[in-house]
């Protein structure tokens, strides 16, 4: 037994203890203050002052300058030589048995306590210095353990998800035992392994061997992936959560622990997802012939299910991969079909929003945009070409445009900017523009007539802002037409009728509309100012005329509008209706007055847009009938005769045959029949006989009879079209001559392009028409062809 003196032997010159000055030493009680404490009081006071004060009070003898006595308790002395080897061998054997027992599944043969294992490890590593042998023994035991586990997993009879449950249990047991060994063999890890950087820690040693043996073997990996496929296929087919889904959550955790999640689980799961949904897509579309809307809903449901399953079981990074694999597999080879069908079947923005999101997730937006443009163009073409519903064309276009705009705002949004997808916006504009070209001139004509109806009907109880919105919506369609001159012509004619027949809802709205058209759409809209000036001057002249005639004169009821022919879109009439003598006398009197006031001016009367108020006496009482001047002339004939044949009326009025038939039709065949005819029918024939209808009734005292001149006739429409075509020829001729005068010589292709560019603000001409105008100018010797190059034109000064 070695005493304490031999353990603490210092050289004679050492001052290891005498140099140390304790703050205070109590020889009787062997107590001293902590050597690392620092003074806190004055120079004569330190951290032991309080203790010394207490000792003085108790009368204890404190020796500040004496030697330090150290007493070691519980030390039994050291072990050396053969005795040490014998003890370490015993400890090593005990450790070996303990480690083997801990690494054997189901073993209860641990012969000592955990504390005994911990202490034995300290003795073997720190005292005996046998860390290397212990480490090698542990390595061998881990290898044997892992091999046993692998054999057990390979031999078990369980299959599918149940096998995964068994695998998870094995992983959990192994990881738990390794954690326990790390705690019990701490001295091996800290006192031996740390001094040898080339050696892995107990944790790394065990987990590396487990990964190499368990996850590198084909059989176990195949069983794992087969179980994963069985689980997810069952959930997809049944639409339910598998009872053993928790096994998969635990499996993912263990795979992550062993750094094999990507290789064994994620890649396999993504590939299995792709394969499963490719088959499902083929089954639905090719075999079951599912509709696009049904397939779209199915795709949304499936992607949501996959996303939810991945979120519950897998890592965050896998969620996006699984969702992407599912939607790409479902859409593979289906993008063109889906894009074409989705616009035919999905009319709600909610469905289209889902379609947009799905196409976006598979980089299919260019395909969707192309089909959206094609769908819009085809729809617009169909609406424009439906001649049987020309009167409804604009309303149908506006309804479809509203749907398209709503779709852009609510469904086709860029997720990053929350703004309309510009590709879709430009596609919509292009599609409408091309769709309008399916029927030249007609869309522009119908838009002008639609605006005319709005301006005649007025607000009708809606706010100024709402009425303005209706007008703006119609003009938004005007932007898509190339035939600006057609719109201008028909709007001009409609405006003239509204002003002359006093059918406009508001002069302020009329002027505001003309200003907007001129500033924002077409600089050529300057005719309105002159028209309003003519009306204002006419009212001034009428006030002066009425002031000069007698109060009892019939001309007091006369109202005349003097219009400049160059401003108003009406042709001079070759013949007009013969008015009753009293009416004609008043007009002659006014003509004399006007010529005296404006010498050199010539007045040509046009009664086609005139109106009159006729007092009629019916059995139910008198009525004031507001009629056209043509209708008034016909009705006044019945003051002399009760029945009049068609031919007689034609002779008396000398009215145009077509206009007379339309006039009689409005009086005898419409809803308000102030005349009747024999035989009864909707059409007027040369042998018809007309008579006054005394039984006519109406709840109002003043009755308006629809005037045929307020409506555009087929002849007027044809005249307008002819006028447009004539103007276009003049535009083209002037443009070609102006271009050639500036350029002197141009090839045919250059002249064609320059001409189109020059007149595009009015209309876009057909190439064949340009060629005809060029040939005409060559014949008129404004241009000539080059003698050597017949495709080259030269200006003739």
All residues at 6 or more sequence positions from 533 whose CB lies less than 8 Å from its CB, including other chains: none
What digits encode the pLDDT tens for the residues 765-790? Answer: 888 888 888 888 888 888 888 888 88
- pLDDT(152) > 70: yes
Confidence of residue 308 (pLDDT cuts 50, 70, 90): very high
pLDDT given for residue 22 in this prediction: 43
pTM of the predicted protein model = 0.68
Q: At what angle do helices 393-410 and 349-361 cross, to 10 degrees?
A: 50
**E strand intervals along 347-427:** none
Token pair of 529 as six digits: 């100012």
- pLDDT(678) > 50: yes
Q: Helices (DSSP H) in 411-441: which residue ranges?
A: 422-436
Q: Above pLDDT 70, what percent of the chain?
A: 88
pLDDT given for residue 24 in this prediction: 40
Exposed, middle or buried, 318 (CB in 10 Å: 0-12/13-18/19+)? buried
Element (H, E) at 704: strand 702-704
CA-to-CA distance for 465 and 472, rounded, in angstroms?
10
Listed residue (608, 531, 534) closest to 573, CA to CA: 608
Exposed, middle or buried, 602 (CB in 10 Å: 0-12/13-18/19+)? exposed
Pairing of strands 621-628, 702-704: parallel
Exposed, middle or buried, 709 (CB in 10 Å: 0-12/13-18/19+)? buried
CA-to-CA distance for 583 and 380, rounded, in angstroms?
51
Token pair of 57 as six digits: 């009070």
Which 8-state DSSP code applies to residue 725? H
CA distances from 634 to 10, 483, 578, 662 (A): 149, 40, 11, 12
CA-to-CA distance for 763 and 756, rounded, in angstroms?
9
Token pair of 577 as six digits: 């209706």
Residue 314, phi then psi, degrees to nearest 5: -110, 180
Q: Above pLDDT 90, what percent of the chain?
A: 33
Listed residue (490, 480, 425) closest to 452, CA to CA: 490
Percentages helix, strand, coil for the chain, rounded to the nearest 5? Answer: 65, 5, 30
In contact, 206 and 139? CB cutoff 8 Å: no
User: Can you tell me which residue has the tokens 């109406």?
Assistant: 698
Q: At what angle do helices 292-313 and 245-257 cross, to 10 degrees?
A: 60
Alpha carbons within 13 angstroms on the beta-carbon side of residue 443 total 30
What digits encode the pLDDT tens for the residues 331-342? Answer: 888 888 888 888
Span 387-415, average pLDDT:
89
Alpha carbons within 13 angstroms on the beta-carbon side of residue 119 total 7
- pLDDT(387) > 60: yes
Confidence of residue 13 (pLDDT cuts 50, 70, 90): very low
Q: At what angle do helices 527-548 and 581-597 cross, to 10 degrees?
A: 110
In contact, 313 and 252? CB cutoff 8 Å: yes
Rounded to 5°, the CA angle 6-10-11 comes to: 130
Question: Per-residue DSSP letters for 290-311?
Answer: --HHHHHHHHHHHHHHHHHHHH
- pLDDT(77) > 60: no
- pLDDT(109) > 90: no
Residue 130, phi then psi, degrees to nearest 5: -110, 40
746 three-state secondary structure: strand
pLDDT given for residue 173 in this prediction: 95
What digits encode the pLDDT tens for the residues 647-670? Answer: 999 998 988 888 888 889 889 888
Which 8-state DSSP code applies to residue 712? P
In contact, 120 and 187? CB cutoff 8 Å: no
Pairing of strands 792-795, 783-785: antiparallel
Q: At what angle do helices 646-653 and 629-636 cross, to 10 degrees?
A: 120
Span 614-642, average pLDDT:
90
Span 595-602, average pLDDT:
84
CA-to-CA distance for 57 and 59, rounded, in angstroms?
5
- pLDDT(398) > 70: yes
- pLDDT(29) > 60: no
pLDDT given for residue 49 in this prediction: 46
pLDDT given for residue 5 in this prediction: 34
How many Cβ atoms from other residues are within 10 Å of residue 786's Cβ?
12
Average pLDDT, the chain: 83
- pLDDT(166) > 90: yes
CA-to-CA distance for 428 and 431, rounded, in angstroms?
5
CA-to-CA distance for 81 and 5, rounded, in angstroms?
20
pLDDT given for residue 58 in this prediction: 46
pLDDT given for residue 231 in this prediction: 95
CA-to-CA distance for 265 and 529, rounded, in angstroms?
79
Span 569-587, average pLDDT:
82
Residue 712, phi then psi, degrees to nearest 5: -80, 130
How many Cβ atoms from other residues are within 10 Å of residue 529's Cβ?
14
Three-class HEC string of 625-680? EEEEHHHHHHHHHHHCCCEEEHHHHHHHHCCCHHHHHHHHHHHHCCCCCCEEEECC
User: Can you tell me which residue has the tokens 């292709």?
Assistant: 749
What digits encode the pLDDT tens for the residues 167-221? Answer: 999 999 999 999 999 999 999 999 899 999 899 999 999 999 999 999 987 899 9
Element (H, E) at 25: strand 25-26
In contact, 95 and 130? CB cutoff 8 Å: no
* Better-scored residue on pLDDT, 60 or 559: 559
- pLDDT(80) > 60: no
User: Can you tell me which residue has the tokens 């510009």?
Assistant: 422
What is the rounded end-to-end Cα distance, in angstroms, of the chain?
138
Confidence of residue 140 (pLDDT cuts 50, 70, 90): very high
Measured in residues, the chain has a length of: 797
pLDDT given for residue 66 in this prediction: 60
Confidence of residue 67 (pLDDT cuts 50, 70, 90): low
């Amino acid at each position: 037994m070695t005493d304490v003196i031999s353990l603490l032997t210092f050289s004679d010159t050492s001052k290891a203890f005498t140099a140390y000055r304790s703050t205070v030493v109590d020889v009787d009680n062997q107590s001293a203050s902590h050597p690392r404490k620092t003074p806190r009081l004055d120079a004569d006071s330190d951290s032991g002052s309080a203790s010394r004060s207490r000792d003085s009070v108790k009368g204890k003898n404190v020796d500040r300058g004496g030697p330090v006595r150290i007493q070691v308790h519980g030390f039994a002395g050291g072990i050396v030589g053969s005795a040490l080897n014998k003890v370490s061998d015993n400890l090593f054997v005990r450790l070996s048995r303990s480690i083997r027992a801990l690494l054997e599944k189901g073993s209860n043969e641990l012969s000592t306590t955990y504390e005994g294992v911990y202490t034995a490890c300290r003795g073997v590593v720190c005292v005996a210095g046998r860390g290397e042998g212990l480490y090698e023994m542990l390595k061998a035991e881990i290898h044997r353990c892992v091999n046993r586990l692998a054999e057990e997993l390979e031999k078990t009879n369980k299959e599918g998800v149940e096998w995964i449950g068994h695998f998870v249990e094995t992983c959990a047991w192994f990881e738990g035992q390794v954690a326990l060994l790390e705690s019990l063999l701490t001295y091996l890890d800290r006192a031996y392994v740390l001094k040898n950087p080339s050696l892995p820690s107990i944790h790394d040693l065990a987990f590396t061997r487990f990964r190499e043996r368990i996850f590198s073997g084909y059989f176990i990996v195949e069983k794992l992936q087969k179980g994963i496929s069985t689980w997810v296929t069952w959930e997809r087919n049944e639409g339910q959560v598998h009872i053993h889904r928790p096994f998969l959550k635990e499996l993912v955790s263990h795979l992550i622990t062993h750094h094999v999640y990507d290789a064994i689980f994620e890649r396999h799961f993504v590939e299995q997802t792709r394969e499963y949904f490719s088959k499902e897509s083929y089954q639905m579309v090719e075999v079951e012939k599912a509709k696009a809307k049904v397939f779209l809903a199915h795709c949304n449901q499936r992607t949501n299910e996959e996303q939810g399953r991945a979120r519950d079981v897998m890592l965050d990074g896998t969620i996006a991969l699984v969702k992407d694999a599912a939607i790409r597999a479902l859409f593979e080879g289906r993008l063109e079909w889906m894009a074409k069908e989705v616009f035919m079947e999905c009319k709600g923005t909610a469905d289209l929003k889902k379609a947009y999101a799905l196409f976006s997730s598979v980089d299919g937006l260019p395909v969707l945009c192309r089909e959206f443009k094609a769908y819009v163009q085809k729809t617009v073409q169909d609406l424009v070409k439906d001649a049987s519903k020309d009167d409804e064309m604009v309303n149908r276009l506006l309804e479809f445009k509203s749907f398209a705009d709503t779709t852009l705002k609510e469904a086709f949004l860029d997720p990053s900017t929350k703004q309309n997808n510009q590709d879709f916006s430009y596609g919509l504009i292009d599609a409408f523009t091309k769709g309008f070209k399916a029927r030249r001139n007609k869309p522009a004509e119908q838009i002008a007539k639609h605006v005319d109806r709005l301006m005649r009907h007025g607000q009708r109880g809606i706010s100024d802002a709402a009425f303005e919105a209706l007008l703006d919506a119609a003009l938004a369609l005007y932007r898509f037409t190339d035939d600006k001159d057609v719109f201008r012509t028909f709007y001009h004619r409609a405006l003239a009728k509204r002003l002359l027949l006093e059918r406009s809802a508001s002069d302020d709205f009329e002027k505001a509309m003309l200003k907007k058209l001129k500033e924002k759409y077409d600089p050529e809209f300057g005719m309105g100012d002159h028209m309003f000036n003519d009306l204002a001057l006419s009212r001034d002249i009428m006030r002066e005329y009425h002031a000069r005639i007698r109060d009892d004169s019939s001309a007091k009821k006369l109202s005349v509008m003097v219009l400049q022919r160059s401003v108003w879109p009406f042709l001079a009439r070759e013949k007009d209706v013969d008015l009753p003598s009293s009416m004609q006398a008043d007009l002659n009197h006014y003509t004399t007055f006007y010529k005296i006031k404006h010498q050199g001016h010539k007045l040509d009367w046009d009664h086609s847009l005139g109106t009159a108020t006729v007092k009629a006496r019916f059995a139910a009482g008198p009525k004031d009938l507001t009629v056209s001047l043509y209708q008034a002339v016909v009705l006044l004939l019945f003051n002399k005769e009760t029945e009049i044949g068609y031919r007689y009326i034609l002779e008396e009025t000398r009215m145009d045959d077509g206009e007379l038939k339309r006039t009689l039709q409005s009086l005898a065949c419409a809803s308000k029949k102030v005349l009747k005819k024999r035989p009864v029918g909707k059409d007027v024939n040369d042998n018809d006989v007309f008579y006054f209808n005394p039984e006519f009734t109406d709840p109002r005292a003043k009755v308006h009879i629809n005037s045929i001149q307020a409506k555009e006739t087929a002849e007027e429409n044809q005249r307008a079209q002819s006028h447009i075509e004539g103007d276009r020829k003049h535009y083209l001729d002037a443009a070609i001559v102006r271009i050639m005068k500036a350029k002197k010589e141009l090839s045919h292709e250059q002249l064609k392009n320059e001409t189109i560019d020059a007149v595009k603000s009015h209309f876009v001409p057909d190439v064949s028409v340009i060629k005809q105008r060029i040939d005409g100018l060559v014949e008129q010797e404004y241009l000539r062809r080059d003698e050597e190059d017949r495709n080259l034109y030269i200006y003739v000064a």
